[in-house]
C-alpha cells in the first residue's frame, strides 16, 4: 500500500519534496502497523486501517474500496452487557437513529466507544452487531470506523458529536434529518415565495443522460429566474463536472436583478459541487449556509484516475492524478465552512426564508 499511495499526485506534492515529511510518513506507517497488531478485531477493521494509513496525505480522492463489489459478509459482535449508566455520565453514549436503523453508543473505555446495532431493515445487522468504532487519538480528536448499511467500511479522520448527532453521518438521537435532501429528479425548481427562486441540483455527473437533462432544465428555468433571492441547494451532491452548472453560473454573473444567493451544503456535498460553491463564494452576493461540506476538493482524477489492486481482501486503491489549486488546500478534509449554520430542528429551506425575512425587516 505504501508504494501505491506514493504514486498519487498529492503524495508527490505534499511528502516527496519534504524529507521531514517523508520521515513522518514512515513513522505513521509504523504507528498504523502497531495499531493493527494490537487490535483484537483487526480482521474486521483491516480496510479502515488502510484508509487511515493513506489519510496521512491530505487528499480524499485517494480511496480504498472493494473490487467486484465483494463487500464483507461477517461483522464484529459485541458480547458484553451494555452499560446504560453511561447514558447519564457520558455525553456521547445513548441511542442513535439513521432512517430505519437504530444503534446504541456504548463507552468501552476513555478512548473507545462502540456503536452496537439494536434494529435494522437489513438482516445482516442483527442485534449486537458492531456498526461503529469510535476512537480518541493521541491529540484528543475523535475518529471513527463506520460500516455502511451495504457492508462497506469507511474511516472518518474527524468526527464530532454536535447537538445529538454524530457528524459527518446520518446517526442522530432525535431521529430527524433536516440536514438531508432526497431527490425525485436530478434538477428541481420552485418559486413558492414572492421574492425567492429555488433550484436543487442532485448530481453533476457528466453522463449523456445528465447533460441532456441539464440543458433542458436550464433552457426552461433560466428565463423564469426573476426574483431578488436565489437558493441553490447542493445537499448530497457528490460532484461530477462543474461544466454541468455553466448556464446557471453565466446567468448569475450577468443578472443585475439578483440581490442575494444562498447556497445550501451538507456533509455529502463534495468535489465538483464544492467547486461550484467555492466559485460562487467569489460573488459578494453569496452566502453559504448549512453545515461543513465533505472536503474532497483540492485534488481530482483529471480525465483518468489511477487504480491499482491490492492483496488485502480483494481491494482496489484509487488515487488522484491532478491538483486542482493550492487555494483549495485549506478545505481538504475539513470542507467549506458555511457563513451560517442551519440546525436540525426544522426544514432548512424554511430557515433560509426566515433568515431572508429577518434581514429584510431589519433594514
Task: Report mean pLDDT in 10-residue bins for the chain, 363 residues.
Answer: 86 94 96 95 93 96 80 92 82 95 95 96 95 96 97 96 96 98 94 91 90 93 95 97 93 95 98 97 98 96 58 75 95 97 97 90 68
Q: Compute and round to an integer the Cα radius of gyration of the chain.
A: 22
* 163-199 exposure pattern, b = at least 16 Cβ within 10 A, e = fewer: eebbbbbbbbeeeeebbebeeeebbbbeeebeebbbb
Q: What does the pLDDT read at residue 84?
A: 78
Q: What does the pLDDT read at residue 220?
A: 96
358: exposed, middle or buried (C-beta count within 10 Å: 0-12, 13-18, 19+)?
Answer: exposed
Q: What would the DSSP string read from start to end of 16-77?
A: TT-HHHHHHHHHHHHHHHHHHHH-TTHHHHHHHHHHHHHTTSS-TT-EEEEGGG-------B
pTM of the model: 0.93
Q: Are strands 196-201 and 229-233 parallel, antiparallel or unpaired?
A: parallel
Task: Locate 276 and state its grid cell.
Answer: 461550484
Tally the residues of the chain: 363
Q: Which residues are CB-contacts of 169 (< 8 A; sequence separation ≥ 6)?
A: 98, 146, 156, 159, 267
Q: Which residues are CB-contacts of 51 (< 8 A; sequence separation ≥ 6)?
A: 63, 64, 153, 154, 155
d(CA 322, CA 304): 9
Structural domains in the chain, sorted by start: 187-297+332-361 (3.90.226.10)
Q: What does the pLDDT read at residue 105?
A: 96
Q: What does the pLDDT read at residue 73?
A: 87
Task: Locate 304 and state its grid cell.
Answer: 483518468
Q: Looking at residue 336, what DSSP letter applies?
A: P
Q: What does the pLDDT read at residue 56?
A: 97
Q: Where are the alpha helices (DSSP H) in 106-224?
A: 208-221
C-beta of residue 92 within 8 angstroms of C-beta of residue 161: yes
**SS3 (DSSP) at 323:** strand
Amino acid at each position: 500500500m505504501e508504494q501505491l499511495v506514493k504514486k498519487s499526485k498529492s503524495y508527490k506534492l505534499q511528502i516527496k519534496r519534504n524529507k521531514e515529511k517523508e520521515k513522518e510518513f514512515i513513522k505513521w506507517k509504523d504507528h498504523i502497523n502497531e495499531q493493527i497488531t494490537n487490535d483484537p478485531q483487526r480482521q474486521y477493521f483491516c480496510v479502515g486501517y488502510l484508509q487511515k494509513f493513506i489519510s496521512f496525505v491530505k487528499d480524499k480522492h485517494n480511496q480504498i474500496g472493494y473490487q467486484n463489489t465483494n463487500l464483507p459478509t461477517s461483522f464484529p459482535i459485541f458480547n458484553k452487557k451494555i452499560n446504560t449508566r453511561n447514558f447519564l455520565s457520558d455525553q456521547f453514549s445513548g441511542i442513535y437513529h439513521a432512517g430505519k436503523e437504530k444503534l446504541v453508543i456504548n463507552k468501552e473505555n476513555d478512548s473507545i466507544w462502540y456503536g452496537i446495532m439494536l434494529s435494522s431493515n437489513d438482516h445482516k445487522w442483527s442485534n449486537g452487531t458492531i456498526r461503529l468504532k469510535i476512537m480518541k487519538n493521541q491529540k484528543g480528536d475523535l475518529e471513527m470506523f463506520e460500516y455502511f448499511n451495504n457492508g462497506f467500511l469507511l474511516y472518518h479522520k474527524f468526527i464530532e458529536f454536535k447537538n445529538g448527532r454524530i457528524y459527518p453521518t446520518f446517526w442522530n438521537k432525535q431521529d430527524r434529518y433536516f440536514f438531508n435532501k432526497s431527490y425525485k429528479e436530478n434538477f428541481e425548481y420552485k418559486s413558492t415565495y414572492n421574492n425567492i427562486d429555488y433550484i436543487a441540483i442532485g448530481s453533476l455527473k457528466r453522463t449523456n443522460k445528465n447533460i441532456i437533462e441539464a440543458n433542458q432544465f436550464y433552457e426552461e428555468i433560466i428565463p423564469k429566474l426573476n426574483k431578488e433571492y436565489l437558493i441553490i441547494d447542493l445537499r448530497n451532491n457528490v460532484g461530477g463536472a462543474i461544466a454541468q452548472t455553466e448556464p446557471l453560473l453565466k446567468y448569475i454573473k450577468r443578472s443585475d436583478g439578483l440581490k442575494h444567493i444562498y447556497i445550501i451544503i451538507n456533509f455529502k456535498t463534495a468535489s465538483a459541487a464544492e467547486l461550484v460553491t467555492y466559485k460562487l463564494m467569489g460573488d459578494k452576493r453569496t452566502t453559504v449556509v448549512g453545515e461543513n461540506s465533505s472536503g474532497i476538493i483540492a485534488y481530482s482524477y483529471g480525465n483518468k484516475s489511477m487504480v491499482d489492486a491490492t492483496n488485502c481482501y480483494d481491494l482496489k486503491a484509487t488515487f488522484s492524478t491532478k491538483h486542482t489549486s493550492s487555494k483549495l488546500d485549506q478545505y481538504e478534509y475539513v470542507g467549506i465552512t458555511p457563513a451560517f449554520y442551519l440546525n436540525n430542528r426544522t426544514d432548512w429551506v424554511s430557515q433560509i426564508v426566515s433568515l431572508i425575512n429577518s434581514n429584510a425587516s431589519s433594514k
